[in-house]
Structure 1
Amino acid sequence: MTELLFREDPYTRSCNATITAINDRGGVELDRTVFYPTGGGQPG
């Protein structure tokens, strides 16, 4: 499960992360992220 750092601090701009998976199209899955989900922004 990816750790969603933006929930703790929405102003976080960077972090260290480890690649946990790479899909067939070259997309990567990380163990942590500062990015909001693609579904419309910050969760309510």
Structure 2
Amino acid sequence: HVVVTGRGALPGMIEAADTVTEMSLVKHAFKAGVKAQKGVEF
């Protein structure tokens, strides 16, 4: 088994894969002005 993560998968990699999952941002605290917090974002 091989698991590959990240963005911008090449079309050939997607074609060769058995499973491809795409995630999208729905809501994020940063957009509400919340600053990055030590131990959470870095």
TM bracket (short chain): under 0.3
Greater share of residues in helix: 2
Greater share of residues in strand: 1
Q: In terms of Rg, which structure is larger?
A: 2
Please give the TM-score of this superposition, normalised by the length of structure 2. Answer: 0.23
